[in-house]
Structure 1
């Protein structure tokens, strides 16, 4: 199977009915007179190729990062599949009009060959997580088409920045003799913690999953439980997934460097320690979500559901006093079981405060819909509670002056977006590295409180997951950051402090701006 690349004319696709529009092949365009936060430097003789993994939490930050590089006059190509490209087509079109040398190139997704239903080109669209192995198979089948695509690109690519889960990019980079930089999608706290645990294996010495242990070598005293560690330290029953995780780990070690969506003022000690103990090149260039620097950017950032009118949420928020509304979102790959979500909803109701609750597909959608209908929850909270069933314009909602707290699953993208908005966080980690991120928020930044979740909900084992957090826990945690006392005000002060740091880091002269310059210089040197 070879990619259909045609840079001379638009390309239409036969898409499912929920995507009633066409994908247009983007042309190189530069209009120096139409600028949007563009760097004033002359066009850089470099061409970076970005290859994101097909899941919202991976695609979104890589597209944001690609935009930032293009604004620095680096030629940028984003390689993705037809349905994934639709989601960020509008924001890339806007970048091109501003003068950025950026384009999207399409590679077909082999859903039929891999045994995946048509239209499922992103993890969050899979009808069942049991298809994860099929999905990874489809991703691996894209290697040859991507190689053929890169051969036709002009100018010739001189660097590939790819998600760490696309392991065959190592072979592609070797074939084209260009550096491969991996995008991890988390932070240096997570990278350092994983490195130490792999080396020291102290978690294996505890007698019980719920017993605490200290992670040696981490700046500060960091305590974790084995039950809170990512899947690589708690392998499940899916042997193919376990093997894949090991392959990812091996591939990481061979990369030229790692680009991280974080900023040094947030976790500087962990950045330096990770560089020291591994010898890896690390560039912190975030928060990349701040590439969306006006309301239209935020609204166009990703188009997951065209039926939503983002302006109605803003108008509703305008009707509430400052810091009065709770925003709740447990991520695009929600792993919370319905009984746990029900406790969360009842806790929100018990606060008597206004709220926006984002309920994405995820696990147990039908059961949640049944509860909402039969329990009468929506009717009881009518007027002060909004339920968004699907995608929400999070970067548009969070900075609104009415938002007083963000209840988050601690996915790193969401955590950073909350930090950039200057909002105190209520942490509800579910899976992956999210318990690490909770430590960053609650212990390192002291910018939030935990609802009390204790164990990872592993992929494919949701049915065996107990209810960990009761409605009273939810209500109490929210009140700890939204009340009017001295402690609550300290949370708000720290939230504002880190928000200001984040914005300064990404601006010209800031640490992340400097690190991006260093990366560009590094690749220029390699190319020379």
Structure 2
């Protein structure tokens, strides 16, 4: 490795939410393994998570710098420095306000360390201006893939939802390859009032403008997965973009590395692995809805009944507040755990998702269609039941079911935000059986395994993502020499 003075130095500024932090930490690990100096900028309470995820046996040392999170200034509890399912709904507006107040501290660090590049999450719209002050290129780190970026941009540009007569009338997303149909009800976060519409339009405009003025965009995807949309994004929108995913594959060298991602697991990994080891290949369905979704008790009961009557073996991750000892869990049907003993495993809290998905016993995945989870499922070669709840997840569902054809929809008709809608047990049972045992299940899984193989090839030396990251590092190195 070259000396520090001649070493390319990249700053990483991840959004303070697990789903945003983990892939950016993966990227930092990845560039560090290529001889680049990587520095993560985060807040004090997030340092343990960053250290844990970037201190794997095979990783190169990564620097960590901290900035103070102004929780109290915006009316948040002092310990609130990350968005998760415990606080997401109530604190989101205050949290975003606090994130907007980090600019000055970041600029002090940019001035002091003068890195060669700033990779900042899309949420930090001000980061492009901050980097420009010091003549530092800013790369936008997207939390989604090319398909979602293209679909949401086309919907924003052409507003096809305004041309239909009802919320349930289907429309085709104009200009987008693949005849993708949606309804107004499915569109994420449509404004309810004119004032809200103006506010959202302003945010979208700011995000688009800062992206256009940035040096380019980093996308955690791989070319073979969504090539038509990668080409469309670059050619039609004229955006400079590098695909460098799936990033979770850089942490898949050992069981220990898979366990290091994110928070400490809420279940003993040995118990989880032994349970999976006792099952036949592709016989278990994994059910998890990410770190922000917070279902109602009644919806959790429907999931429990749906899983029970499906007859399938399953691991179900439930994000619930811990109950006091002996307190009845209202969301659990009476006698449920006894009836599913040996067939089902409930993990209350954080699960080692990559570890579970990569186990040969797992054949299906019920997911909220967050991009991290979707890519982890794709990389593991499992079929998906899609259950989008918010944001751009409805677009990811269309990619999975209509374009890639590696999953089936549970039947969400309306995106209800992070509360997750109301899906009945019969729909859950049907969708789970369709990916596990129905006639098309084998064909679907075969396609999924083909994409998994492509994902692994993409990140190997000479693969599409490996080469795109090399091209990015080379471009930044050349720019460094000329500045």
Deviation at 1:126, TM superposition (A): 5.1
Please list, as runs of the form range in 1=range in 2, the aligned pairs for 1:407-426 lying within 5 A after superposition.
407-426=366-385
| Other structure's SS at 1:453 match | coil
CA separation in 2, counterparts of 1:77 and 1:174?
19
Deviation at 1:269, TM superposition (A): 0.5
| Other structure's SS at 1:141 match | helix
Deviation at 1:323, TM superposition (A): 1.1
Deviation at 1:439, TM superposition (A): 1.0
C-alpha distance after superposition, 1:473-507 (max 9, x if no partner): 1111111121164x221112111101000000011
Q: Does 1:185 align with 2:148?
A: no
Tell me if structure 2 keeps the 8 A contact 1:331–1:411: yes
Which residue of the other structure, out of 339, 348, 352, is the alignment partner of 1:393?
Answer: 352
C-alpha distance after superposition, 1:66-85 (max 9, x if no partner): 11111111111011112222
Deviation at 1:422, TM superposition (A): 0.8
| Other structure's SS at 1:94 match | coil
CA separation in 2, counterparts of 1:183 and 1:490?
34
CA separation in 2, counterparts of 1:169 and 1:355?
43
Q: Does 1:472 align with 2:472?
A: no
Tell me if structure 2 keeps the 8 A contact 1:336–1:430: no
State the TM-score, normalizing by the size of structure 2.
0.92
CA separation in 2, counterparts of 1:240 and 1:340?
33
CA separation in 1, counterparts of 2:417 and 2:285?
27
1:344: which partner in 2?
Answer: 303
1:200: which partner in 2?
Answer: 158
Tell me if structure 1 keeps the 8 A contact 2:29–2:59: no
Which residue of the other structure, out of 425, 436, 454, is the alignment partner of 1:501?
Answer: 454
More relative contact order, 1 or 2 (CA 8 Å, 6+ apart): 2
CA separation in 2, counterparts of 1:369 and 1:333?
24
Inter-CA distance 506–235: structure 2 relative to 1 (3 Å threshold): farther
Q: Does 1:510 align with 2:463?
A: yes
Tell me if structure 2 keeps the 8 A contact 1:228–1:454: yes
Tell me if structure 2 keeps the 8 A contact 1:42–1:73: no
Q: Does 1:384 align with 2:343?
A: yes
Tell me if structure 1 keeps the 8 A contact 2:294–2:319: no
Tell me if structure 1 keeps the 8 A contact 2:85–2:319: no
Q: Does 1:432 align with 2:391?
A: yes
Which residue of the other structure, out of 135, 138, 149, is the alignment partner of 2:95?
Answer: 135
2:412: which partner in 1?
Answer: 453
Q: Does 1:227 align with 2:189?
A: no
CA separation in 2, counterparts of 1:191 and 1:71?
28
- Tell me whether 80-89 or 181-190 shows the greater mean CA deviation: 80-89
Deviation at 1:148, TM superposition (A): 1.6
Which residue of the other structure, out of 196, 204, 212, is the alignment partner of 1:253?
Answer: 212
Please list, as runs of the form range in 1=range in 2, the aligned pairs for 1:302-341 lying within 5 A after superposition.
302=262, 304-305=263-264, 308-341=267-300
Tell me if structure 1 keeps the 8 A contact 2:259–2:265: no
Inter-CA distance 239–225: structure 2 relative to 1 (3 Å threshold): closer
Tell me if structure 2 keeps the 8 A contact 1:179–1:256: yes
Inter-CA distance 170–142: structure 2 relative to 1 (3 Å threshold): same
- Tell me whether 75-84 or 282-291 shows the greater mean CA deviation: 75-84
Inter-CA distance 238–121: structure 2 relative to 1 (3 Å threshold): farther
Inter-CA distance 142–466: structure 2 relative to 1 (3 Å threshold): closer
CA separation in 2, counterparts of 1:423 and 1:524?
38
C-alpha distance after superposition, 1:168-206 (max 9, x if no partner): 212210111111110111011111112212221112111
C-alpha distance after superposition, 1:371-419 (max 9, x if no partner): 2456332232222211111111000000101112100011110000000
CA separation in 2, counterparts of 1:359 and 1:210?
31
C-alpha distance after superposition, 1:190-233 (max 9, x if no partner): 11112212221112111112111011221111111112222267
C-alpha distance after superposition, 1:122-143 (max 9, x if no partner): 1116536232221112112221
Consecutive unaligned residues of structure 2, counting only runs of 5 or more, are: none
CA separation in 1, counterparts of 2:72 and 2:413?
39
CA separation in 1, counterparts of 2:159 and 2:354?
38
Consecutive unaligned residues of structure 1, counting only runs of 5 or more, are: 1-31, 33-40
Deviation at 1:361, TM superposition (A): 3.8
| Other structure's SS at 1:186 match | coil
Which residue of the other structure, out of 329, 345, 369, is the alignment partner of 1:370?
Answer: 329
What is the CA RMSD across the aligned residues, in angstroms? 2.6
Tell me if structure 2 keeps the 8 A contact 1:372–1:378: no
CA separation in 2, counterparts of 1:236 and 1:513?
45
1:56: which partner in 2?
Answer: 18
Deviation at 1:310, TM superposition (A): 1.8
Tell me if structure 1 keeps the 8 A contact 2:26–2:54: no
Deviation at 1:250, TM superposition (A): 3.2
C-alpha distance after superposition, 1:251-279 (max 9, x if no partner): 22322111001001000011101111111
Deviation at 1:102, TM superposition (A): 2.1
- Tell me whether 306-315 or 108-117 shows the greater mean CA deviation: 306-315
State the TM-score, normalizing by the size of structure 1.
0.85
CA separation in 1, counterparts of 2:377 and 2:267?
22
| Other structure's SS at 1:371 match | coil
1:24: which partner in 2?
Answer: none
